[in-house]
A and B are shown apart, each in its own frame.
Chain A
Amino acid sequence: MAGPYRIQGETGEWEVVLGLEVHAQVTSHAKLFSGSSTTFGAEPNTQVSLVDAAMPGMLPVINRECVEQAVRTGLALRAKINLRSVFDRKNYFYADLPQGYQISQYKDPIVGEGEIVLDLPGGETKTVGIERLHLEQDAGKSLHDQHPTKSYIDLNRSGVALMEIVSKPDLRSPEEAAFYVKKLRSILRYIGTCDGNMQEGSMRADINVSVRKPGDPLGTRCEIKNMNSVRFIQQAIEYEARRQIEIIEGGGSIDQETRLFDSSRGETRSMRSKEDAHDYRYFPDPDLLPLELDPSRVAALQAGLPELPDAKKARFMAGFSLSSYDAAILVEERATADWYEVLARGRDAKLAANWMITELFGALNKPGINLADSPVSADALGGLIDLIADGTISGRQAKDVFAEMFETGKDAAAIVEEKGLKQVSDSGAIEALIDEVLADNPDKLAEYKAGKDKLFGFFVGQTMKKSQGKANPGMVNEMLKAKLSG
Chain B
Amino acid sequence: MASLLDFSLVDARAALAAREISSVELTRAYIDQMAATAGRNAYITATPDKALAMAEASDTRLAKGEGGAMEGLPIAIKDLFCTEGVLTTAGSHILGGFIPPYESTVSSNLWASGAVMLGKTNLDEFAMGSANVTSYYGPVENPWRSTDAPDKKRVPGGSSGGSAAAVAGRAALAATGTDTGGSIRQPASFCGIVGMKPTYGRCSRWGIVAFASSLDQAGPMTRTVSDAALMLGAMAGHDPKDSTSAAEPMADLSAALGQDVKGMRIGVPAEYRMDGMPREIDALWSQGIQWLRDAGAEIVDISLPHTKYALPTYYIIAPAEASSNLARYDGVRYGLRVDGDSLAEMYANTRGEGFGPEVQRRIMIGTYVLSAGYYDAYYLKAQKVRALIRRDFDLAFETVDAILTPTAPSDAFAIGENEDDPIKMYLNDVFTVPASLAGLPGVSVPVGLSARGLPLGLQVLGRMFDEGSVVRAGRALELAAGFDVSAAAREG
On A, residues with C-beta under 8 Å from B are: 50, 53-62, 89, 91, 93-95, 98-101, 151, 153, 279, 281-283, 286-289
Q: Given A95-B332, A98-B328, A153-B332, does the pair A59, B370 have CB atoms closer than 8 Å?
A: no
Q: Are B206 and A58 in contact (CB under 8 A)?
A: yes
A153 nearest CB across to chain B (Å): 7
A283–B320 touching, CB < 8 Å: yes
Q: Contacts A62-B243, A286-B212 hold; do A55 and B327 have CB atoms under 8 A apart? A: no
Total chain B interface residues with beta-carbon distance under 8 A? 44
Kindly provide the distance from the CB of A420 to the nearest chain B CB, expressed in whole angstroms: 73
The answer to whether B222 has its CB under 8 Å from any CB of chain A is no
Answer whether residue B67 sits at the interface, using C-beta atoms and an 8 A cutoff. Answer: no
Contact flag A57-B212 (CB < 8 Å), given A281-B324, A289-B244: no
- Chain B contacts for A56, CB-based, 8 A: 82, 88, 90, 95, 98, 100, 209-210, 328, 334
> Does the CB pair B102–A55 fall under 8 Å?
yes
**A283 & B208 in contact (Cβ 8 Å cutoff):** no
B interface, CB within 8 angstroms of A: 81-82, 88, 90, 95, 98, 100-102, 104, 205-210, 212-214, 240-244, 320-321, 323-324, 326-328, 330, 332-334, 343-344, 347, 367, 370-372, 375, 379
Given contacts A56-B95, A56-B100, A287-B213, contact A89 B241 (CB under 8 A): no
Q: Which residues of chain A are within 8 angstroms of B244 by Cβ–Cβ distance?
A: 286-289
Inter-chain contact B243/A61, CB cutoff 8 Å: yes
Check if A57 sits within 8 Å of B327, measured CB to CB. no
What number of residue pairs across chains A and B have CB atoms under 8 A from each other? 99
Interchain CB contact under 8 A, A57 and B324? no
Contact in complex: A98, B242 (CB < 8 Å): no
Q: Is the CB of A99 within 8 A of B328?
A: yes
Give CA–CA (A356, B207) in the complex, Å: 59
Q: A89-B324, A93-B330, A283-B324 are in contact. Are A59 and B371 (CB under 8 A)?
A: no
Supposing A54-B328, A283-B375 touch, asked if A288 and B243 sit within 8 A by C-beta, the answer is yes
Q: How far is the CB of B162 from chain A (nearest CB, A)?
A: 18
| Complex-state Cα separation, A93 to B370, whole angstroms | 15
Q: Which residue of B lies closest to A94 (CB)?
A: B343
Known contacts A57-B104, A61-B241: A101-B327 contact under CB 8 Å: yes
Tell me the nearest residue of chain A to B104, going by C-beta.
A57
Q: Shortest CB–CB separation between residue B253 and chain A, in angstroms?
A: 26
Task: Show 16 A/B contacts (Cβ-Cβ < 8 Å), sorted by A.
Answer: A53-B333, A54-B333, A55-B100, A57-B82, A57-B104, A58-B206, A59-B205, A59-B241, A62-B243, A93-B327, A93-B344, A95-B343, A101-B327, A282-B375, A286-B213, A288-B244
Q: Which residues of A contact B323 (CB under 8 A)?
A: 91, 281
Name which residue of chain A comes closest to B367, CB basis.
Answer: A281
- State the CA gap A61–B90 with chains docked (Å): 24
User: For A288, what are the chain B residues with a Cβ–Cβ distance below 8 Å?
Assistant: 243-244
Closest to A87 in B: B243
CA distance A153 to B321 in the complex (A): 26
CA distance A60 to B245 in the complex (A): 12
- Measured between beta carbons, the chain B residues less than 8 angstroms from A101 are 324, 327
Apart from A58-B206, A287-B210, 15 more pairs, CB < 8 Å: A54-B328, A55-B102, A56-B88, A57-B206, A57-B209, A59-B206, A61-B240, A93-B330, A93-B344, A95-B332, A281-B323, A281-B372, A283-B320, A283-B370, A287-B244
Whether A57 and B207, one on each chain, are in contact in the complex, defined by CB atoms closer than 8 angstroms, is yes
B149 to chain A, nearest CB (A): 39
The 9 closest A-B pairs by CB, nearest first: A100-B327, A286-B213, A281-B370, A286-B214, A54-B328, A57-B207, A56-B209, A279-B372, A57-B82
A18 to nearest B CB, angstroms?
A: 26
Q: Which residues of B sit under 8 angstroms from A60, Cβ to Cβ?
A: 243
- The CA-CA distance from A288 to B98 in the complex, in Å, is 26
Chain B nearest CB: distance from A365 CB in Å? 46
CA distance A89 to B321 in the complex (A): 10
> Considering the chains assembled together, what is the distance between the CA atoms of A54 and B320 in angstroms?
18
Q: CA of A413 to CA of B16 in the docked complex: distance in angstroms?
A: 91
State in angstroms the CA–CA spacing of A281 and B321 once bound together: 11
Contacts of B375 in A (CB 8 A): 281-283
B209: A residues at CB distance < 8 A:
56-57
Chain A residues in 8 Å Cβ range of B370: 91, 281-283
List, in ascending order, chain A residues with CB within 8 A of B330's CB.
93, 95, 100
On chain B, the residues within 8 Å of A287 by CB distance are: 210, 213, 243-244
CA distance A61 to B324 in the complex (A): 18
Which residues of chain B are within 8 angstroms of A58 by Cβ–Cβ distance?
A: 206-207
Q: Which of B205, B213, B328, B372 contacts A100 (CB 8 A)?
A: B328
Cross-chain contact A279 with B371 (CB below 8 angstroms): yes
Assess A59 versus B243: contact at CB under 8 Å? Given A98-B333, A281-B370, A287-B213: yes
Q: Which residue of A lies closest to B317 (CB)?
A: A286
CB B387 to nearest CB in A, in angstroms, measures 13
Cα-based distance from A94 to B240 in the complex (angstroms): 29
